[in-house]
Amino acid sequence: MASMQTAAAALRLRDGRSTCVGPVQFSRGWRRSGCVKMKAADMNTRKIHVTPLREKRSGGGEAEANGGYLLGGFVAEDRFVYRQTFVIRSYETGPDKTATMETLMNLLQVIDHVSRICHDFLTMIREFGSQETALNHVSSAGVAGNGFGATREMSIRKLIWVVTRIQLQVDVYSSWGDVVEVDTWVDAAGKNGMRRDWIIRDYNTNKIISRATSTWVNMNRETRKVSKIPDEVRKEIQPFYLNKVAITPQNFDTHKIEKLTDQTAHRIHNGLAPRWSDMDANQHVNNVKYFGWLLESVPINVLEDYNMTSMTLEYRRECRQSNLLESLTTIKVNGEDTQMLECTHLLRMEEDKADIVRARSVWQLKQPRHNI
């Protein structure tokens, strides 16, 4: 059923991008079902053809592997940007039928993982001179297999990428059935970090509806200690750096996130327990899961009556499956605008009260929806 909902939603593509007038089947083997690459499907009564979602924009280039696609998307802007298209599915929306913030966070994570593999592929092209040899080498040597996006030099040194900070801004929440296009790219973040940015566009209007930026560092996967980026690793990733920002400096959240305590928090929700399904391939809790736990202490009337327009998260400590957690939130009116709220959040260990994630969010009162 979900596949048919997604397929029907894809019919909303703007003029010139689709010739479909009925249900379609999605190609199998994609990293995330719902990516809008479609094929002709025999629906018993007629054959339906959909033009693949692929275009060359001004100043951009594309990789020609797998018919121009790499794991559901393609590289653009001279191979510095990875681009992929998604359909917002029914179970990715909330009670108001719009995408949740967790859905947006998941989209960023999906395209982040895939783009890292895409960069490994392009590295092989440069080294071995042909896409066929590059693909064979990636497949046989498992270049992208040891942790999400670990380069060869990182794998040798038992290093993985971990996120330390994410800032997300949302102008418009997509609705069920909308098609969105996500771009991501990387750049340096100081001497020992890497910055990954994203923009999300409405596919029909090409208007940017969300922006995000994040900071990543190397960590030893065995000792779990943060490491400087070795020169050998830096040489591998520097060719993909793009001097471009998703969030402008004047909109960048540089303010300190205060630590909440039992005395300063308005609400505390305890007893949160990670499950096995919350763990990722690097053996720590998926960072999107932290986001959901932070919202556990937000009052239900805020969740119902307000839209979150921005959030900044600072990741301070790992969380294991055996840990019990507490979520704390405090709320205040944002300046003189009574329709704006600012929340400070904390996710901490229940036993020793050690910080895991500090966060700050801004909420806007929802506008009444008029039914026609």
Active-site choice (137, 269, 284, 345): 284
Cα separation of 312 and 302, whole Å? 18
Residues 291, 314: contact at Cβ < 8 Å? no
- Tokens 């092989």 — which residue? 124
Active-site choice (146, 218, 282, 286): 282
Cα separation of 83 and 31, whole Å? 14
Tokens encoding 366 = 């929802």
Phi, psi angle pair for 94, to nearest 5°: -95, -165
307 belongs to the catalytic site: no
Cα separation of 221 and 157, whole Å? 9
Q: Backbone dihedral region of 44: left (phi > 0), alpha (psi from -120 to 50 degrees) or beta?
A: left
Cα separation of 264 and 258, whole Å? 10
Tokens encoding 190 = 């100081």
Active-site choice (146, 319, 323, 343): 319
CA nearest neighbour of 116 among 43, 22, 184, 46: 184
Residue 236 Cα distances to 77, 124, 129, 154, 306, angstroms:
19, 11, 16, 10, 44
184: three-class secondary structure by DSSP = strand
319 belongs to the catalytic site: yes
Tokens encoding 344 = 């400070």
Residues with catalytic function: 282, 284, 319
